[in-house]
């Protein structure tokens, strides 16, 4: 079966693709120690002023998805009411919403999977302005970023645009796809007068990871859109010896930013072809580890220089990206509990969670989550055989994790895929067989604290409010648990299926439900006292 046919099947079923310590390298760049709290001195004024709302894709630059400045808690969540819904009219072959909204100054900014952007009143859901692009190329995850009076979005897979926050009019737009061969499928992030964004190989299911393409990381001037630097996520321009066949890399999710050092941390995608072609079965066209795919990369935010990287899945045959937004934290030092150690957590479709030392990328611990059958670790596939890989193409950690108070919350998908040495058997896909989990890990050592299991795939990420953690499944069921014990405090049926993740304000949680018919953005709110 051809790689393009496999990607077309992927489109039809309306899901998006989003890993083993392998190769680690440290560049000659000095990193200073970081304190436990973020320094917002270089953040845009909108983020400095509204850091108690939800001004960034994952709440803060550390990507914790932890909202403590809220009235939502285990005691109050039972008082939730559906305060408003807003219909999502734009959609692509991947549904209508695969993103998180932004909340600032009583305004919600939301982008659908057709690239359309809307600003709404947070209390009422009343539209303030819209700017419709009606793109048919966006794969997701996407979404807005704010800063310096502007809203930054990708109106299509080729461009990044800056809109006026007041009325949505376009101030500038820059084309970032050489020969229209790479696509932007990431929610940007803004810091120190730069907009950070990335590309992945391909611009549609038909040319996804086609030969000769590779993803890049970018920093743009927020005022003009001029490229300040761009850094390849592939270690060699000849694509490991066969540019006509090989491709890979890129970033799907927002980076973490150490606001004291300016170092950015990125989760990097897979190499291709997956797993091979008739002429080059089981990855023979790309011998070696295929750096920097399936890695975490630490990149200097001012220069674009690679500080360090650690590849957790060398020579990936099964599209097991290490794509989730890295989470920055400070945890007690195991050798001296009076001190803390700066770490970065990463995860992806391999179904493993890693803790790295933030200074040099060395692995502190790694923990498997979800169901594994061991085949994801294979380095080849015998010709003529078909093997089942679990976690498979839609498996592992697909959507953002969350962190608070020494606990890491991991949303998991259990889904198997059948592979031969030259392709994947998409005819064996049975979405009803996909299940989900939410796993709470001790951030100091990776041990499991508690776990919840679901009959539907967990594609709703993890999000914290006070003493509870939210998640949601593809069938549109929202769950909330006490973070320490895992006790269920809320189970709510959303208006539609969910493969997006929420933003939390003072009294409301705003969630996109765009994975099925009748897609909406909706708000669950506490009573206004």
CATH code, domain with 201: 2.140.10.10
pLDDT (tens digit per residue) in 68-113: 999 999 999 999 999 999 999 888 767 889 999 999 999 999 999 9
Cβ atoms 363, 310 nearer than 8 A: yes
Range of the domain at 273: 3-525
Q: What is the model's pTM?
A: 0.93
Beta partners for residue 257, in sequence order: 264
pLDDT (tens digit per residue) in 360-415: 999 999 999 999 999 999 999 998 999 999 999 889 999 999 999 999 999 999 99
Does the structure show a pLDDT above 90 at 140?
Answer: no
Cβ atoms 490, 479 nearer than 8 A: yes
Cα Rg of the chain, angstroms: 21
Kindly state the helix (H) or strand (E) to which residue 7 belongs, with its residue range.
helix 3-12
How does residue 516 score in pLDDT terms, banded at 50, 70 and 90? confident
How many domains does the structure of the chain reveal?
1
Cβ atoms 48, 485 nearer than 8 A: no
Give, in order, the Cα–Cα distances in Å from 92 to each of 57, 140, 515.
21, 9, 11
Range of lowest pLDDT (9-13, 62-66, 298-302): 9-13
Cβ atoms 302, 34 nearer than 8 A: no
Q: What phi and psi values does residue 376 have, to the nearest 5 degrees? A: -65, -20
Beta partners for residue 120, in sequence order: 108, 127
pLDDT number for residue 14: 37
Task: Look at residues 349, 346, 381 and name the one whose alpha carbon lies nearest to residue 366.
Answer: 346
Give, in order, the Cα–Cα distances in Å from 67 to each of 52, 58, 70, 312.
8, 10, 7, 30
Task: Give the Cα-Cα-Cα angle 183, 401, 71 (nearest 5 degrees).
Answer: 115
Does the structure show a pLDDT above 50 at 5?
Answer: no
Question: How far from the centroid of its chain's Cα atoms is residue 138's Cα?
Answer: 15
């Amino acid at each position: 079966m051809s790689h393009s046919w496999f990607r077309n099947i992927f489109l039809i079923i309306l899901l998006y693709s989003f890993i083993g310590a392998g190769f680690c390298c440290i560049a000659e760049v000095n990193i200073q120690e970081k304190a436990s709290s973020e320094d917002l001195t270089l953040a845009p004024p909108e983020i400095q002023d509204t850091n108690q709302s939800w001004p960034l894709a994952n709440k803060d630059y550390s990507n914790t998805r932890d909202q403590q400045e809220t009235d939502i808690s285990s005691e109050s969540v039972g008082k939730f009411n559906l305060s408003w819904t807003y219909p999502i009219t734009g959609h692509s072959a991947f549904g209508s919403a695969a993103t998180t909204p932004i909340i600032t100054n009583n305004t919600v900014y939301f982008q659908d999977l057709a690239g359309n952007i809307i600003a709404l009143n947070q209390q009422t859901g009343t539209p303030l302005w819209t700017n419709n692009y009606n793109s048919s190329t966006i794969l997701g995850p996407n979404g807005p970023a704010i800063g310096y009076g502007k809203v930054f979005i990708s109106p299509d897979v080729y461009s990044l645009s800056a809109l006026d926050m007041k009325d949505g009019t376009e101030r500038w737009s820059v084309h970032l796809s050489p020969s229209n061969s790479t696509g932007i499928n990431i929610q940007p992030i803004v810091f120190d007068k730069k907009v950070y964004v990335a590309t992945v190989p391909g611009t549609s299911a038909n040319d996804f990871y086609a030969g000769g393409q590779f993803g890049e990381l970018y920093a743009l001037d927020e005022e003009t859109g001029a490229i300040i630097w761009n850094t390849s996520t592939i270690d060699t321009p000849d694509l490991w010896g066969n540019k006509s066949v090989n491709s890979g890399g890129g970033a799907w999710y927002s980076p973490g930013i150490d606001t004291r050092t300016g170092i950015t941390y990125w989760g990097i995608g897979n190499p291709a072809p997956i797993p091979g072609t008739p002429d080059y079965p089981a990855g023979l066209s790309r011998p070696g580890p295929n750096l920097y795919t399936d890695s975490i990369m630490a990149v200097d935010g001012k220069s674009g220089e690679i500080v360090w990287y650690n590849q957790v899945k060398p020579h990936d045959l099964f599209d097991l990206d290490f794509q989730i937004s890295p989470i920055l934290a400070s945890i007690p030092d195991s050798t001296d509990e009076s001190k803390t150690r700066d770490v970065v957590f990463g995860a992806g479709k391999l179904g493993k969670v890693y803790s790295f030392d933030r200074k040099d990328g060395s692995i502190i611990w790694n923990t498997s989550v979800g169901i594994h059958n061991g085949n994801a670790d294979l380095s080849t596939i015998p010709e003529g055989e078909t093997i089942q890989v679990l976690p498979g193409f839609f498996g592992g950690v697909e959507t953002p994790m969350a962190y608070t108070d020494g606990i890491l919350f991991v949303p998991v998908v259990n889904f198997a895929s059948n592979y031969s040495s030259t392709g994947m058997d998409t005819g064996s896909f049975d979405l009803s067989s996909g299940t989900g989990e939410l796993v709470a890990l001790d951030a100091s050592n990776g041990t499991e604290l508690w776990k919840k299991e679901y009959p539907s795939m967990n594609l709703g990420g993890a999000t914290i409010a006070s003493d509870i953690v939210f998640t949601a499944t593809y069938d549109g069921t929202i769950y909330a648990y006490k973070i320490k014990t895992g006790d269920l405090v809320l189970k709510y049926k959303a208006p539609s299926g969910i493969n997006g993740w929420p933003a939390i304000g003072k009294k409301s949680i705003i969630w996109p439900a765009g994975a099925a018919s009748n897609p909406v953005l909706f708000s669950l709110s506490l009573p206004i006292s």
